[in-house]
Amino acid sequence: MDFMRTRALSLPFLCLLTTGYLSAAEVAPPPETPKRPVQDSMQGVTITEDYRWLEDGKADEVKAWTDAQNARTRAFLDGLAVRKPIAARLGALYSKTSSNYGGLISRGGRLFAFKNQPPKQQPLIVTLATSADPRTERVVLDPNTRSKAGATSIDWFVPSLDGRTLAVCLSDKGSEQGTLFFFDVATGRQRPDRLERAQFPTGGGSAAFDARGEGVFYTRYPSAGERPPADLQFYQEVFYHRLGTPQSADTYVLGKDFPRIAETVIETSEDGSRVIVTVANGDGGEFAHYLRLSDGSWTTISEFADEIKAVHLGRDGQLYLLSRQGAPRGKILRLDPDTLKPGVKPNLTNVPVIVPQGDGVITEYRALASQLYIVEMLGGPSRLRVFDLNGALQAVVPSPDVATIDGLAGIEGHADDVLFRQVTFTEPTTWFRYDPAAPESERLTATKLRAVSPVPFADIEVVREFATSKDGTRIPLNILKAKGVALDGKNPTILYAYGGYGINMSPSFVLNRHLWLSNGGIYVIANLRGGGEFGEEWHLSGNLTKKQNVFDDFIASARHLIDRGYTSPAKLAIEGGSNGGLLMGAALTQAPELVRAVVAYVGIYDMLRVELDANGAFNVTEFGTVKDAAQFQALYAYSPYHRVNDGTKYPAVFLLAGENDGRVNPANSRKMAARLQAASASGWPILLRVSSASGHGIGTALSERIAQQADVYAFLFDQLGMNFTAPAEPKSGKKRKGFGLELKVRLGR
């Protein structure tokens, strides 16, 4: 049984709120949606669709239709008795949660970090002493002071090598259309420099200071007039800006030969003598690397075909390369930059292998004065191993069996000390310090940068099982549940997955899951092909024409949970976002009988037109293109929008999108909602929620995130027939800390 329910009688501060089984709650008919057939011919196939007109988000009739859909969704969700108490509970949880730190960088004798500090709407940037003690914290930039509603967010930041100046990319309303600003670290004062077009959601953005902190190398997109309007979010190049000068005086550095869909990251060595530029060829996992030599000239380290995934400048002055050529799980090479010549690419077949491929997938690494730290993925969980610079294993750093380790950060002034982040499904983030020179029993210490959950997860266990996919591949499942739960098929269960871009579904602590788990729910995260949990082979077996493997893996995961008695089709919900939203669309159209409810965030559903959007062009290297016959056949075969069939009993579906989304066009959600509403014969609701306050999810204000979560949980509790247990309000009538945040959530958005 779940944590809260088993204690409802013994702990006086809990009360039981029963909403009853509301899956038959009335939902108004959807707004009238005219069918206006449009035909296309692709690869000899004639394709007809009825809702092309919904793609024009600026058209008055589309805005009116979207408003009507939002009003219908709002009326349904606000009419559920469970929605307000869920919103209040979420508000209370986030109000009481501790601060959380991320993205640690050591510069100028101090640490820079992101700090999440609920109930603040957006994370801020702080500095800390290298002891990583929060008592030494000082705020450098709080974007919440720039917008009370939390509309302004930090895309990324980079400090100068001396730690005196901070470059920060800021954008509004989750748009990820960022401008680069500069701040004096000592005073927090904003400098006059302002670099436009440094960041877009298509190729992202990056910057790195020069050795003296006098200027930055940064990514810049074309300005109007430099390229056709359709190309203004493409053709990213690297420029140099000297602080105190106008952007018009900036000098071109690199990038005229980069692909149209370049995604560029810039890194400076600790002494500033060298600069590395990493260029991704869209989102498919191909990278090229360029090095600025000490004399200021540039040379190519690797090209896309070389399968070098990352290049890192070690403290010993050497280049450490992560290669997957002939090693899909990764190997580490070492290259002396002093042997490189301007414009001459090295022969990488002659570069020595320092750490050969092992059983884990190398995801992160850092070479310090005498130690090489390597994080390896083991099918989802990860571990940290320590080598000397010649590749001899020194230690395996102790960690829980199912944990994520990341965020490796060397500390200036300490030759080989490293900071890293550790998190599990049931324990929030703790930053650890590892000192290889200390006595063995003292090498690993927890810093005081430790998040604390406002509610215990002690009664929650994590079980790792394997489903068997259609072709026999074993698919890991991470099952979060209350200890001792009965496998009787009656448990409301959420199955979540992603399966794309080589992205790993690693253990993570998500506070709002407590609301689900403590009310009898089970939460499952599947490690599907298309991700990178088992290396590049795992990724490539789930992209392009092999994308159907991802959907087969997910459907097999659902069947495994049903067959093992964790749940049943009447109690199973599925959830995913972006590429995971595509997964939701494929699952609900290919196996609607397995699922009772679907939640899809910012999803891709029309796979035949996605490449026409700006960011869709970056996805071609992952999904494929309709211009290729074989890839078209694969795309058309699974495209969710085209696989919806009239008269089918589809599960209840909740589609969420953001109007400011520059990664996935919200037209996908509009069209998919219209098609499902016209086709479904189940009588269960097909809901659409389009937020004007968010984009793809990055940079969304806390209040909007909580409002979305409240809507989703209310929908799922309703559709799966769940009761909700909420804590009682204090009898004194006094407002709890954070009540203002809860009030905003109760009122809706």
Residue numbers annotated as active site: 578, 696
Longest dimension (CA), the chain: 75
What are the tokens at 663?
């990664």
CA angle 615, 616, 620 (to 5 degrees): 125
Q: Which of 717, 665, 727, 514 is nearest to 57 (CA)?
A: 665
155: burial class by Cβ within 10 Å (0-12, 13-18, 19+)?
A: buried
Give CA separation, 245 vs 31, 159, 222, in Å: 54, 19, 19
The letter for the amino acid at 117 is Q
Question: DSSP characters for 13-82?
Answer: TEEEE-----TT---PPPPP-----EEEEETTEEEEES-GGGG-TTSHHHHHHHHHHHHHHHHHHHTSTT
Let me know: does 521 contact 494? Beta carbons within 8 Å: yes
CA distance 653 to 688: 8
Q: What are the helix (H) ranges across 37-158?
A: 60-78, 83-96
Q: Which residues of 237-249 are buried (b: 16+ CB within 10 A; e: fewer)?
A: bbbebebeeebee
What are the tokens at 331?
């190997």
The letter for the amino acid at 523 is Y
Q: What is the Cβ-side half-sphere exposure of residue 747, based on CA atoms within 13 angstroms? A: 8
Phi/psi for 638 (5° steps) reads -115, -5
CA distance 25 to 309: 51
Give CA separation, 747 vs 71, 85, 612, 654, 657, in Å: 15, 11, 38, 20, 20
CA distance 505 to 646: 34
DSSP single-letter state for residue 81: T
Phi/psi for 268 (5° steps) reads -110, 145
CA distance 641 to 588: 11
Rounded to the nearest 5 percent, the helix, strand and coil shares of the chain are 25, 35, 45
Q: What are the helix (H) ranges across 2-59?
A: 3-6
588: burial class by Cβ within 10 Å (0-12, 13-18, 19+)?
A: buried
CA distance 77 to 83: 7
What's the length of the chain? 749
CA distance 549 to 640: 15
What are the tokens at 113?
């970090």
Let me know: does 364 contact 372? Beta carbons within 8 Å: no
Phi/psi for 112 (5° steps) reads -110, 145
DSSP run (H or E) holding 600? strand 597-601
Let me know: does 668 contact 702? Beta carbons within 8 Å: no
141 strand-pairing partners: 125
The arrangement of strands across the sheet holding 361-367 comes to: 361-367, 371-377, 382-388, 393-397
Q: Which residues contact residue 695 at a Cβ distance below 8 angstroms, ignoring those fewer than 6 apart?
A: 173, 174, 175, 176, 201, 658, 659, 660, 661, 662, 663
